[in-house]
Structure 1
């Protein structure tokens, strides 16, 4: 188990490396040590075929990067960082979207490039990978909704394929519906359909529109006529 003193040292050296790098490319011993660890872990993951087992390994190794990541986020000024971007993706891969958000905020603020190996922009990675994780949970799970809402705000105005953004809106629709926010769910489902008519939300739209229409047609309790009070004198 890593001692608290060692953790503190890793965080401080990472912060110093990030500060020294400015907005260029990460350098320094702290970064190169983490980069070497990243390559070793990446080779280990590549040797495994089972997706389930890959997720288990990522959960096992992610704590090894925690102090480095915290140090970079504390003092970084936007240096390109392969380790940082890979850890962000791995956190999403294991379903820890909330844990990926601090890196996502930093990456979007400084417009970091995820690297050629990803073949997508940082915004597209955040949208698609997070949506995939949320959609895999099913329609009745809202545990990722708050994180998805923030991701949708972070990527606002960024260019990406419509199909990717549609997938994110579908996952937002699912989350709002699970939470009982039907008007918000409908808005996101409709946006998903506008972006991609094959997003698989048509029936969701129809069901919610029908439910909201029925709700609107039912008189509220306040609109019910007041019961008549018998004011005739008692015999």
Structure 2
């Protein structure tokens, strides 16, 4: 259990590390200087992180690892808040690993908050990962949404697209995100209630149009993205909606 004093100290030193960061370049930024108080704090927390990673490696069940990651994450929250408050380019394995964990245990809002910081400051993924931060976020969250439509909110998928739109990644990874967004728009079209007070202009047809665009973008990026049936279904829905308007 981290005391309130230690939480404050961790956050303060993380802010200090950011205030002494070098100007941002296209390369990944350096970690906090080892001979500084912030660097020493970072080294201690990084050692704790690696202990946690070894503990997780001993758990065979992915499902059982998820609550442990959520529990471990509490240790690093004050440091991460300080890093974000400093808003400076400092390579931080603690922050990026907690982003990965948050996706695993389902706190996608937190994962996206950390991911936004990591992308804006060009942080690198831990060395065992081959994907960039942007690619990891786009592909992992898209796959979660495609497996379970209730696991990722529509606005979260939109945030992922906005966050990773300019990032370089394999076409197949981005196609998964467009596919997930297309299916989310399609569900909104199918569930549209024209009598609702907040019903937008254009209604179900506008939602279906967005879905169609997402599916076509996925198909253009990856012929094997598995959206051809989705396109047929959404075209059928658009025709039905058009016929309803004409009648």
The TM-score bracket by the shorter chain reads: 0.7 to 0.9
- Partner of residue 139 from structure 2, selected from 128, 136, 148: 128
- Partner of residue 80 from structure 1, selected from 91, 96, 116: 91
Q: Distance in 1 between matches of 2:180 and 2:60?
A: 27
> Corresponding residue for 1:47?
58
Query: Aligned-pair distance for 1:3?
Result: 4.0
Q: Distance in 2 between matches of 1:8 and 1:116?
A: 30
> Corresponding residue for 2:162?
153
Aligned residues: 219
CA contact (8 A) 2:11 2:82 kept: yes
CA contact (8 A) 1:17 1:30 kept: no
Query: Aligned-pair distance for 1:142?
Result: 7.4
> Corresponding residue for 1:217?
243
TM-score normalised by the chain length of structure 2:
0.82
Matches within 5 A, 1:101-140: 101-138=112-149
- Which sections of structure 2, spanning at least 5 residues, go unmatched? 23-28, 34-38, 190-206
Between 1:171-180 and 1:18-27, the stretch displaced more is 18-27
Q: Distance in 2 between matches of 1:36 and 1:76?
A: 23
Q: Distance in 1 between matches of 2:80 and 2:145?
A: 24
Q: Deviations over 1:192-231 (max 9, x none)?
A: 11111222221111111101111102245xxx7xxxxxxx
**Secondary structure of 2:212's partner?**
helix
Query: Aligned-pair distance for 1:18?
Result: 2.7
> Corresponding residue for 2:175?
166
CA contact (8 A) 2:17 2:90 kept: no
**Secondary structure of 1:13's partner?**
helix
Q: Distance in 2 between matches of 1:219 and 1:19?
A: 59
Moved over 4 A (4+): none
> Corresponding residue for 2:202?
none
> Corresponding residue for 1:65?
76
Q: Deviations over 1:114-173 (max 9, x none)?
A: 1431111121111111112222213xx374221221221222232111110011111111
Q: Distance in 2 between matches of 1:155 and 1:143?
A: 16
Q: In the alignment, does 2:32 pair up with 1:26?
A: yes
- Which sections of structure 1, spanning at least 5 residues, go unmatched? 225-235
Computed over aligned residues only, the root mean square deviation of the Cα atoms, in angstroms, reads 1.9
Q: Distance in 2 between matches of 1:30 and 1:179?
A: 47
Q: Distance in 1 between matches of 2:103 and 2:152?
A: 14
> Corresponding residue for 2:186?
177
TM-score normalised by the chain length of structure 1:
0.85
CA distance 1:25–1:165, shift in 2 (3 Å)? same
